[in-house]
């Protein structure tokens, strides 16, 4: 069965892996691995997974986790740069960290902060931590986020990356039923080229794309 890639819209996809619950396909063009739409969670079940998250700005361990993206991105920002944290979840924390450093922030989350006005403004940077793997249509969604950036703006993404097929079969990341898209470095390279951006990989699981 041939499926269209939700990142690059290519029909050149092949079956990659099957476990006890789902199938996984890989795009031969952008190398994204994805779950077929028929095997994704319904919105109510998806939100039930997110409701179990207990993240907050008071959690030092969670702040350290987010620092993998926060630190290299902040080093690249000018003073007072304003940003958007997309997919902030039930306990927005990265936005708090940037605000503490003097960067005004907006937040958006389709379940917890569905403010459409936040997606109509322009920003110096946009972050999405542990979000890309949840996107049903990552191509259009990431294009939209990139369109919110001012010239030379940054799109900061944090998600674990696919390496080999053998490692994928043993990967804990695919056990979360809300994870439906899995990026590799090649996927981010394709995305950067498609969006007219350049990409860096400054830390584990982090991709920073800058608008040219």
- If DSSP codes are grouped into helix, strand and coil, which group holds residue 212? coil
**How many CB atoms lie under 10 A from the CB of residue 152?**
12
Q: Which secondary-structure segment (H or E) carries 197?
A: strand 197-200
Q: In percent, how much of the chain has pLDDT > 90?
A: 95
pLDDT tens string 147-180: 999 999 999 999 999 999 999 999 999 999 999 9
Q: What is the CATH number of the domain that holds 137?
A: 3.40.50.150
In a domain, 1, yes or no: no
Residue 6 in domain: no
What is the tally of structural domains in the chain? 1
| pTM of this structure | 0.96
What is the domain range of residue 28?
Answer: 13-211
pLDDT digits (tens, 9 = 90+) for 71-130: 999 999 999 999 999 999 989 999 999 999 999 999 999 999 999 999 999 999 999 999
The rounded distance, in Å, linking the Cα atoms of 154 and 159 is 16
In a domain? residue 123: yes
Copy the structure tokens of residue 4. 């269209």
Report pLDDT for 56.
87
Query: Does residue 188 belong to any structural domain of this protein?
Result: yes
> Tell me, what's the pLDDT at 1?
61
- Tell me which of 33-42, 54-63, 155-164 is least confident: 54-63
Distance from C-alpha of 86 to C-alpha of 193, rounded to nearest angstrom: 22
53 pLDDT more than 90: no
Residue 141 lies in a domain: yes
Is 90 exceeded by the pLDDT of residue 34?
Answer: yes
Helix (H, G, I), strand (E, B) or coil at 193: helix
What are phi and psi for residue 52, nearest 5 degrees?
Answer: -80, -15
């Amino acid at each position: 069965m041939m499926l269209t890639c939700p990142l690059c819209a290519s029909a050149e996809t092949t079956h990659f892996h099957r476990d006890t619950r789902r199938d996984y396909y890989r795009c031969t063009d952008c190398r994204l691995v994805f779950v077929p739409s028929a095997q994704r969670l319904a919105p109510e079940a998806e939100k039930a997974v997110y409701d179990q998250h207990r993240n907050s700005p008071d959690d030092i361990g969670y702040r350290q986790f987010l620092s993998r993206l926060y630190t290299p991105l902040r080093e690249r920002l000018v003073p007072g740069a304003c940003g958007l944290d997309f997919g902030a979840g039930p306990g927005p924390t990265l936005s708090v960290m940037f605000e503490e450093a003097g960067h005004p922030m907006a937040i958006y989350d389709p379940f917890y902060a569905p403010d459409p006005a936040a997606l109509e403004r322009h920003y110096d940077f946009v972050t999405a931590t542990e979000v890309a793997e949840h996107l049903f249509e990552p191509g259009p969604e990431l294009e939209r986020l990139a369109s919110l950036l001012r010239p030379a703006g940054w799109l900061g993404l944090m998600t674990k990356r696919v390496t080999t097929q053998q490692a994928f079969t043993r990967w804990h990341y695919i056990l979360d039923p809300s994870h439906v898209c899995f990026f590799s470095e090649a996927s981010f390279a394709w995305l950067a080229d498609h969006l007219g951006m350049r990409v860096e990989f400054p830390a584990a699981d982090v991709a920073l794309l800058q608008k040219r």
